[in-house]
Amino acid sequence: MARGVEPGEYAAAFLAAAREAVERPGVVAAKSVAAYRTGFDLDPSRPSDADVTEAAARWQAGTRLDDPVLVRHLLWTAVDLGLPLQLHVGFGDSDIRMHRSDPTHLTDWLHLVSGTVPVLLLHCWPYQRQAAYLAAVFEQVYLDVGLTLHHVGPARARAVLEEALEITPFRKLLHSSDAYGVAEFYQLGALSFRQGLADLLQSRVDADELSLPDALRIARWTGRENACRVYGLSPYTR
C-alpha cells in the first residue's frame, strides 16, 4: 500500500510479495498475529475479491492493519503459500483482548483448511487445554507453550506442560524457547522446558505409566523431531 498499490490490485500484489518473501533461503513457515489485531472470532470463510478490494480501500488511509476482512485474507493467503502457519494464541501484550484469542474460535476455519497446511498454535496460556483439544481432534494442529514458560519459570513449567499434554498426542507438542529479547531468554526458555518435561516424564515412568524408552522417545519427539517433521527440516544427527 505504501508503494501506491490500488485497492483493486491489493490482493494480487500482496500474494506476489508474500511468495517472494517465503522463497528466500531459510524460510520455513508463515506467522499471523491475528490474535493481536482482531482476535479469532472471525468469519471463517475466504473473503471474496470484491470484499478484499473494499476493505483495502477502507484501510488505504490508515496505518494499522486490523480490518477483519483483510486479516481473514492474510490467513487464507498463508494457506495458499503452502507453508506451516504459526498463530500466536493467548497471552501477549495489552493489544490482545484475551477472550477473543481463545483458539477454539478457529474451529470452523480449521475445518475449512483441513488437508492443507500444518497450523501451529504458539504459547497458548491460558488456553493450553483448548489448544490441546484442537491438536487432539484436528490432524493438522500442533502447539507449544514457549512464551508461557518465561513467565511461570522452572517451578511451574511442569504444571503448564501437564495441562498441555493431558490430551495432546505426543507427536503434536513442540519445544519453544520463544527466542525473543535478551539472550538469557533462550537459556531460560530451554531450561524451563527441559526441567518441566523431564519431571513430568520421570513421574510417569515412576508410576509405571510409561517405560523409560518411551519417555526418552517422547523427549526426542518434543525437543527436536516433531519440529523437523512439521517444518521439513533435516534431523540433527550426531
For each of the domains in the chain, give its residue range(s) and CATH number, in order of start.
Answer: 1-140 (3.20.20.140), 144-159+167-238 (no CATH)
Higher-pLDDT residue of 2, 47? 47
179 — pLDDT class (breaks 50, 70, 90): confident
Give 119's contacts (C-beta < 8 A, 6+ positions apart).
Answer: 84, 85, 87, 106, 110, 113, 138, 140, 141, 142
H/E run at residue 119: strand 119-123
Tell me what pLDDT residue 236 has.
56
Average pLDDT on 31-58 reads 95
Task: Work out the number of other CB atoms within 10 angstroms of the CB of residue 48.
Answer: 11
Tell me what pLDDT residue 139 has.
96
Query: Distance between CA 111 and CA 104 in Å, rounded?
Result: 12
Amino acid at 24: R
pLDDT at 238 over 60: no
Average pLDDT on 147-157 reads 85
H/E run at residue 30: strand 30-32
Tell me what pLDDT residue 237 has.
45
Nearest to 144 by CA among 210, 193, 215, 200: 193
Average pLDDT taken over every residue of the chain: 92
The pTM (predicted TM-score) of the whole model is 0.93
Tell me what pLDDT residue 24 has.
94
Higher-pLDDT residue of 187, 137? 137
Tell me what pLDDT residue 14 has.
93
Amino acid at 196: G
Query: Distance between CA 182 and CA 228 in Å, rounded?
Result: 25
Q: Which residue has the cell 491475528?
A: 34
93 — pLDDT class (breaks 50, 70, 90): confident
pLDDT at 224 over 50: yes
